[in-house]
Structure 1
Amino acid sequence: METLFIYIAKSNGLIGMFYIAYYLLLRKETFFTANRWFLLAGLLTSVILPWIVFTTIVWVEPTPTNLDWSKIPMPTGIQKESFEINWYLVLAFAYIIGIALFLVQFIFDFYNLNRVLKGKTIQQQADHKFIDLKENIAPFSYFNTIVYNSSLYSKAELESILEHEKVHSDQYHTVDVLITRLFCTLFWFNPFVWLYKKAILQNLEFIADSEATKNISDKKAYQLTLLKITTHENCVVLTNHFYQSLIKKRIVMLNKNQSKKWNSWKYALILPVLVAFVFLFQMEVIAQEKAIIKKEIKDNPTDPESADTYQIDKTTTDSELQETAKILSQKYAITTTFSKIKRNANNELISIKIKLQKGKEIATEMEVNSSEPLEDFGIAISMNKNGTTNIGIVTDKEESSSSNEIGYNSDEPTPPTPPNYNKIPNYNKIPVPTVKMPLLPKPPRVPSNLNDDKSMRLFEQKMEVYDKKMEKLQPQIDNFEKEMEKYQTEMEALNPEMEKFEKEMENYEIAMEKYQQAMQKFNK
């Protein structure tokens, strides 16, 4: 259960990381479609990345196992178990209750949506379904279904509304809405998830406004329609509303100049943060003990009466080799393989490879390849007093009790040196600009009766005042953007250091793969 909570903590941390990156760097840009995929990629990354763990093996000296159990105090008597609260269980219970409540709310919202759509007359046009309601409900779209009340709007206003909702439908924005609702249900306790949801829904409205105005000649009339829709606050959840985010922000974004293309480098700033996250939380170091290979049989006390030596010389025939292998298998459960056998013109052995294996591990291996006949040697098997088996290759020049095992290689590979993690650039050292975005004035409300000339003149006068206030604030807005550009330039200056470190890390990973392969060969 602890693993589950660690995963949830990492996932929510990534969500917060992506939201902060969007809020500081991207929310003022007009890359609306790119922002959509950035935010969705953040949710996907938060689910997948915590499962990915990079493992590094560190070889350590074996721990001694010669413990004197007589010196270890043993517990006496019966101890009563003290009552302890399992906080993991308590948190899990609260977490499940929260998910259950939000699931109930989701089912209720889906029921209300179905009740609005059920039994209504549908007009099919191309890939869209249109439903004209009589209820006072704000226009919305749900997949390819667009719902509105035509009696509340003029023909021009209805055209603007339908163009807006068609963008939602064509680009499947309902999928984004449902995904954010799912994350809010799973991570209901995380405030960043709700802010993330608001950012996604608001950006979808920016996309729809931007695309809709491309097909509308009167951009100002479209903005007036936005202001009029604000009076309809009866919205259906699980849908894309025509009025979804603060109307002031939507009007500001409609009138904002297109962001410069070079500003798109901001998306890459999330990569160093993800790399740092992997190094800090997703790197697992596994310590493995070095295998001890006994070079000499004399290192273990043996019982001379149980030691056997099976002689092999240059005149040993293939049938005799097979008989030796059969005896070793039956008596000691040792699998013996003779290969690469070569003989000279006198039928004398000049080349042979012997592999002795007991269980899953290779005990010893020897290979001789020359043009001269082999010197006499033997396969020595001895039993230790503790019941273990020693296997070795001995020659007539040595006593079997002190013979060396063949195939041991003392040249143990050296692990590569990892890169210096202190070289990772610290982006947090760069101070965030203190200049704040000025508070923008609230636009005037559109008169309810658009045919009232007096009200419309008054509204136009208020709009002129509003435009003047916006012009007056423009230097502050420009100053804010200038400070942000300076901050982004300083952040970008650290990228070469990060790229250099990543290159060193790639070389280190390649060296580690070669080292692990060499260790596997060395252990054999």
Structure 2
Amino acid sequence: MEAVFIYIAKSSSLMLFFYCVYFFLLRKETFFNSNRWFLLSGLIVSSILPLVSYTKVIWIDATTDFNTNIATSLVNDPQKEAVDFNWTILILGLYAVGFLVFFIKLGIDFYSLNSIIKGKKVKQQADFKFIDINENIAPFSYFEYIVYNSSLYTPSELENIIEHEKVHSDQNHTIDVLISRAFSIIFWFNPIVWLYKKAIMQNLEFIADSEAAKKILDKKAYQYTLLKITTHETCVAITNHFYQSLIKKRIVMLNKNQSKKRNSWKYYVVIPALAAFVFLFQIEVIAKERQQNVKAVSVGNESVNVYKITKNSTDAELNELKASLKSIHNIDFKVSEIKRNSQNLLTSIKVDVINGSEKTQSIQVGDKTIKDFGIVVITDKDGSKKAGIQTSDEKIVVSKKVSSNDNAKVTSKTTENKNITTNTETHVNTNSITSTKTNSDTNTNISTVVTTNKDNNVTTITTTENGPKIIISTPNNVKLTGKKLVIVDGDVMPSTFKLEDLKPRDIKTMHVYKGIDAIAQFGEAGANGVIEIETRE
């Protein structure tokens, strides 16, 4: 309901603006046809422009505010509220009553018009249909129909009247009348619309008077005809009738000198005003939380930075990430094979991370959007860098030195299970090319990560479909068991330790750390996950 009130306020303001421009700047000018289109444009613009809006997105950093959470919980706390009177129903009811009254009045006017025209003898002349009636009403035109009572006027007066009504009919002024009438019904509660309707009707009479006077030799006789028609008080509301009030103004405009063309600048004053309206009121500002694309944690003497890439990442953000990795960590970052859907979301991407002699590559191809992943950079206390690709927070796999047989075994197994073909060259300019086929039945993205160490001629390929991983290239001197790190009462258990040896009743608490949380808490030793157990005394 609030949106309706806002629309009405904006529409009424625009209508008032157009009317004021006409009343103060254009009303006394003789640009009658231009004024006609100006007034009609004002109605159309005032009804459509408030519905047109442009969206401006403002990105804000995601924050977790304890006080905000408390306030939110208090606001959402159900409380008993007093039942207020429903003003919305009352307002809608009043509007419906007014709308119905004026709509019925329109129906009555159409019925009156039909009763006057129906059954009458029609005389066709060119594009006009003349109907001579016996009723004592003011002459009028309705589209191609021109209706009059010839017995009330002299031949010269009748000629003046017919010339006037021909202008109305030929220029389709009835359409203007119906449009203004429709707006006065829809916005019946707005006083501006009634003034606007009156201005449109008056300007149409100025047009007809001006054009008719060009074809009539005796302008004074035409003006006397205007005065004579004032004796007829009956007219049909939805027609262009010869008699209108403000006859004095019509006679003044007939005798007014033509306005100078340089005065046409007055029409253009609406352009900056409409532009200001759009920029001030029609730009919808939407605040969106920016994902923390960079997450930095310190673990002992190491620091871990994670640069996230999501389906919403733009080309500009990827370029910014490339510059950051190069300037801060001296790591080369390349992206290619980018594809996006109609919503501009990433559906395919190939990422290469090059850290000295080590290269990590991630490829995601599929019909749906990519899974979120990121670039992981670990900095040791001596400043050495280890870089990799995070493709999930659920599991972390750290690549290590493997023998040629082991490498072949891994590659062969991956190829067999995931339909992936690899072609790896191990000289200085090593290129790892991985082609991935997507299972059309599951319609999900398949992510492939290739890690290459050019110094040791080692390549590790990891393919994930529903459980992507993190691949971090690691120097050869780092020894990993490949098992989760188990800590019992603060002591690191050996690789031969079995959880089954602990009795459930002896365990007081147990915490499981995975993904980046494990690295953040325990460093690279927790790359495969950490289980921390506290036993009962």
Identify whether the pair has TM-score above 0.5, normalized to the shorter chain.
yes
- 1-structure distance, mates of 2:66, 2:246: 73
CA distance in 1, matches of 2:394, 2:125: 98
Give the deviation of 1:79 after TM superposition: 5.2
Structure with the higher helix share, 1 or 2: 1
Describe the shift of the 1:30–1:394 C-alpha distance in structure 2 as closer, same or farther (beyond 3 A).
same
**Which residue of 1 is the match for residue 96 of structure 2?**
96
**Per-residue deviation at 1:220?**
1.3
Deviation at 1:374, TM superposition (A): 8.2
Give the structure 1 partner of residue 19 of structure 2.
19
Aligned amino acid, residue 17 of structure 2? M
Work out whether 1:392 is the aligned partner of 2:473.
Answer: no
* CA deviations over 1:224-246 (Å, ceiling 9, x no partner): 11111111111111000111241
- For 1:323 and 1:198, how far apart are their aligned partners in 2? 84
Q: Offset of 1:375 from its aligned partner?
A: 5.2
1:279 shift after superposition: 1.8
The residue aligned with 2:458 is: 376
Match of 2:532 in 1: none
- For residues 153 and 51 of structure 2, the distance between their equivalents in structure 1, rounded to whole angstroms, comes to 51
Picking from 313, 318, 324, the partner of 2:414 is 324
Following the alignment from structure 1 to structure 2, what is the Cα–Cα distance between the partners of residues 350 and 73? 54
Per-residue deviation, residues 332-383 of structure 1 (Å, max 9, x unmatched):
xxxxx979x65449999523469999x999998878899x68853656899x
Q: What is the identity, as a one-letter code, of the residue corresponding to 1:120?
A: K
Q: Which digits, 9 at most, give the CA deviation of each residue in 1:502-523, with x for residues without a partner?
A: xxxxxxxxxxxxxxxxxxxxxx
Give the Cα separation in 2 of the matches to 1:77 and 1:60.
27
Q: Relative to structure 1, is the Cα distance of residues 51 and 253 closer, same or farther in structure 2, using a 3 angstrom cutoff?
A: same
Partner deviation per Cα, 1:379-399 (whole Å, 9 max, x = no partner): 6899xxxxx977322123186
State whether structure 2 residue 209 is matched by structure 1 residue 209. yes
TM-score, L = length of structure 2: 0.62
1:125 Cα deviation (Å)?
A: 0.9
The separation in 1 between residues aligned to 2:242 and 2:63, in whole angstroms, is 69
Is the CA contact (8 Å cut-off) linking 1:142 and 1:169 kept in structure 2? yes
Structure 1 pair 135–77 and aligned structure 2 pair: CA distance change class (3 A): closer
Question: Gaps spanning 5+ residues in structure 1: where?
Answer: 330-336, 383-387, 404-524
Partners of 2:451 and 2:460 within 8 A in 1: no
Partner letter of residue 201 of structure 1?
A: M
Identity %: 50
Cα offsets for 1:138-170 (capped at 9, x unmatched)? 100011000001111111111110000000001
Q: Conserved in 2, the CA contact under 8 Å of 1:138 and 1:235?
A: yes
Greater strand share, 1 or 2?
2
Distance 1:348 1:26, change over 3 A: closer
* 2:431 counterpart residue number: 350
Greater Cα radius of gyration, structure 1 or 2: 2
Matches within 5 A, 1:457-496: none
Change (3 A) 1:305 1:163: closer
Number of the residue aligned with 1:228 = 228
One-letter code aligned to 1:36? R
What is the CA–CA distance in structure 2 between the aligned matches of 1:29 and 1:158, rounded to whole Å? 29
In 1, Cα distance between the equivalents of 2:155 and 2:467?
96
The amino acid that maps onto 2:46 is: S
Q: Report what 1:190 is aligned to.
A: 190
Q: Residues 138 and 148 of structure 2 are in contact (CA less than 8 Å); yes or no, is this contact kept in structure 1? A: yes
Question: Contact 1:53 / 1:283 at 8 angstroms: preserved in 2?
Answer: yes
The alpha-carbon deviation at position 252 of structure 1 amounts to 0.5
Please say if residues 297 and 392 of structure 1, whose CA atoms lie closer than 8 Å, have aligned partners that are also in contact.
no
Counterpart-to-counterpart distance in 1, 2:281 and 2:425: 63
Residues 102-137 of structure 1: CA deviation (Å, up to 9, x unaligned): 111111111111111111111111111101011111
Deviation at 1:86, TM superposition (A): 2.3
Q: Say if 1:35 and 1:203, in contact at 8 Å, map to a contact too.
A: yes
Alignment of 1:268-347 (within 5 A): 268-293=268-293, 294=295, 295=306, 296=376, 308=397, 321=411, 323-324=413-414, 343-344=424-425
Which amino acid is 1:351 matched to? S
1:324 offset after TM fit, Å? 2.9
Number of aligned residue pairs: give it.
384
Question: d(CA) in 2 for partners of 1:318 and 1:216?
Answer: 103
Q: Match for residue 458 of structure 1? A: none
Q: Pick closer, same or farther for the CA change 1:226–1:61 going to 2, 3 Å.
A: same
Deviation at 1:96, TM superposition (A): 1.4
**What is the root-mean-square deviation of aligned Cα atoms in Å?**
4.3
Q: Which has the higher contact order (CA 8 A, sep 6+)?
A: 1
1:235-274 alpha-carbon deviations (Å, 9 max, x no partner): 1110001112411000000000000001111100011111
Equivalent residue number for residue 5 of structure 2: 5
2:111 match: 111
Partners of 1:289 and 1:256 in 2: CA distance? 63
User: Aligned in 2, Cα 1:83/1:308: closer, same or farther, shift over 3 Å?
Assistant: same
